[in-house]
C-alpha cells in the first residue's frame, strides 16, 4: 500500500524581514544628521572662500593704488611740479627775508645792532674797586642806567670819563647819580658804596 506524506509546512517558508518603526526613525535621524553636517561644512567652506576672496580683492586694490602712487611719484611731470613749487617757496622766503633786512637797515624799528657793544664797553672800562651789579638799556640805547658798587667814591668820575670815550656812548652822558650806603642785617656796610647812574641823549655834564 502507498502513503502520501505532506512535507509542506508554513514555518519552513522564507520569512520576509520588515524594519521596525524605531529602526526606521533611527535611520532617518542619521540621514538628517549627516545632511546637516554636510551642509554645515559646505557653508563654512563657502564663507571661508568668500572671506579669502574679499581679502584678495582688498590686496589687489591696495596694490593698484600703490602702483598708481609710484607712477605719479616718479613721473617726470610730478617731479617738475614739485621742483617748481619748492623753487617758488624759496623765492617767496627770500623776498620776505630781503624785506625784513631792508627794514632793519633803515632803522625803522630802533636798535638793530643789539647790546653786545655796550657789554664790551662795560667790560673794557672796568676798574679795580668798582663793579657793576646791573644795567638797563631802553630801546636803541637812548636811556641807559647802571647799578653797581665802588670801594672808593672818587673812582666814579674816572669811570664816567672813560665810559664817555667809548664809541657806543658817544652822544650820551650820565644825567643823574645816586649813592647810598648798603645795609646788611640792618647794619651799614662801610667797605663799599652802592651807586646808580642814569644817562639820556643830549644831556649836559654829569651831576
Instruction: Give the tens place of pLDDT for each residue, 70-82.
Output: 766 666 776 777 7
pLDDT digits (tens, 9 = 90+) for 10-64: 555 555 555 567 777 777 778 878 778 877 877 888 888 888 888 888 888 888 8
**Which of 112, 143, 142, 118 shows the shortest CA–CA distance to 132?**
118
CA–CA separation, 28 and 32 (whole Å): 6
Q: What is the CB neighbour count within 10 angstroms for residue 2?
A: 3
Q: Which CATH superfamily is domain 116-201 in?
A: Ribosomal protein S6/Translation elongation factor EF1B (3.30.70.60)
What is the value of pTM for the model shown?
A: 0.43
Q: What is the CB neighbour count within 10 angstroms for residue 201?
A: 13
Residue 100 has pLDDT above 50, yes or no: yes
Distances (CA, A) of 93 to 15, 18, 178: 111, 103, 50
CA–CA separation, 99 and 91 (whole Å): 12
> Cα 100–90–76 angle (5° rounding)?
170
Amino acid at each position: 500500500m502507498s502513503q502520501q506524506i505532506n512535507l509542506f509546512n508554513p514555518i519552513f517558508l522564507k520569512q520576509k524581514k520588515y524594519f521596525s518603526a524605531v529602526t526606521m526613525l533611527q535611520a532617518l535621524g542619521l540621514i538628517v544628521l549627516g545632511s546637516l553636517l554636510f551642509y554645515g561644512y559646505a557653508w563654512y567652506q563657502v564663507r571661508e572662500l568668500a572671506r579669502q576672496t574679499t581679502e584678495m580683492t582688498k590686496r589687489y586694490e591696495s596694490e593698484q593704488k600703490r602702483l598708481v602712487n609710484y607712477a605719479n611719484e616718479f613721473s617726470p611731470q610730478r617731479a617738475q611740479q614739485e621742483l617748481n613749487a619748492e623753487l617758488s617757496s624759496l623765492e617767496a622766503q627770500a623776498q620776505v627775508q630781503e624785506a625784513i633786512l631792508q627794514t632793519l637797515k633803515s632803522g625803522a624799528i630802533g636798535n638793530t645792532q643789539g647790546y653786545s657793544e655796550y657789554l664790551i664797553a662795560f667790560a673794557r672800562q672796568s676798574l679795580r674797586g668798582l663793579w657793576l651789579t646791573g644795567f638797563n638799556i631802553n630801546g636803541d640805547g637812548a636811556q641807559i642806567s647802571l647799578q653797581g658798587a665802588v670801594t672808593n667814591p672818587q673812582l666814579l668820575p674816572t669811570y664816567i670819563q672813560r665810559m664817555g670815550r667809548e664809541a657806543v656812548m658817544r652822544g650820551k652822558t650820565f644825567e643823574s647819580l645816586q649813592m647810598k650806603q648798603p645795609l646788611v642785617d640792618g647794619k651799614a656796610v662801610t667797605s663799599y658804596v652802592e651807586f646808580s647812574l642814569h644817562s639820556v641823549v643830549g644831556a649836559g655834564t654829569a651831576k
